[in-house]
């Protein structure tokens, strides 16, 4: 099931009629390279050759980082810091996050009590979320459907 959901997402992103793109920062690229399969590398090369990858700079959002640093539980704080770059990109560029890490999504959503902007981040799990295919097909128009905080 996990590989099916991720494969479907990559197929949708790569579909010729789609105008969806992928955002890639140096930090995200490091992660992709570390975990990539041969199939994924082929998909990545195809997306790159067709100009479907937005190359973005790594960004830091100081007040988001401050909200993370204020988290009392060091385990949760470390988890939030591990993927802070994805949320920061979503905050700055308003890109949705596609991730299987539901635990991370819950911790990020919990930060909304202290950092309200995080509630606007759109996050979906391609394995477990319902309706994401139609949402992507519609151009992600409904900004509340996958908002971390509704």
pLDDT tens-digit map of 74-93: 999 999 999 999 999 999 99
Residue 16 has pLDDT above 80, yes or no: no
Mean pLDDT over each residue of the chain, to the nearest integer:
90
- Using the CB atoms, write b or e for 58-78: b if 16+ within 10 Å: eeebeebeebbeebeeeebee
Angle CA(54)–CA(60)–CA(65) in degrees, nearest 5? 135
Rounded distance, CA 149 to CA 145, Å? Answer: 10
Angle CA(86)–CA(91)–CA(96) in degrees, nearest 5? 65
Residue 140 has pLDDT above 80, yes or no: yes
Q: In what helix (H) or strand (E) does residue 55 lie, and over which residues does it extend?
A: strand 53-55
Which of the four pLDDT bands, split at 50, 70 and 90, describes residue 49?
very high
Out of 3.40.50, 1.25.40, 2.10.25, 1.10.3470, select the CATH number for domain 2-137. 3.40.50
pTM for this prediction: 0.87
Which of the four pLDDT bands, split at 50, 70 and 90, describes residue 150?
confident
- Say which range, 2-11, 63-72, 80-89, has the weakest mean pLDDT: 2-11
For the purposes of burial, counting CB atoms within 10 Å of the CB of 39, is it exposed (0-12), middle (13-18) or buried (19 or more)? exposed
Q: Do residues 143 and 122 lie in contact, with contact meaning Cβ atoms separated by under 8 Å?
A: yes
């Amino acid at each position: 099931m996990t590989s099916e959901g991720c494969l479907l997402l990559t197929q949708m992103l790569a579909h010729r009629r789609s105008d969806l793109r992928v955002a890639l920062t140096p930090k995200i690229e490091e992660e992709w390279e570390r975990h990539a399969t041969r199939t994924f590398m082929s998909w990545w090369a195809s997306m790159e050759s067709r100009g479907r990858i937005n190359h973005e700079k790594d960004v830091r959002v100081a007040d988001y980082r401050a909200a993370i640093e204020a988290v009392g539980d060091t385990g949760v704080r470390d988890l939030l810091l591990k993927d802070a770059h994805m949320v920061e990109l979503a905050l700055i560029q308003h890109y949705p996050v596609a991730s299987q890490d539901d635990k991370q999504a819950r911790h990020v959503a919990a930060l909304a009590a202290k950092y309200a902007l995080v509630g606007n981040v759109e996050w979906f799990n391609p394995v477990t979320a319902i309706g994401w295919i139609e949402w992507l097909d519609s151009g992600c128009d409904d900004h509340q459907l996958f908002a971390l905080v509704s």
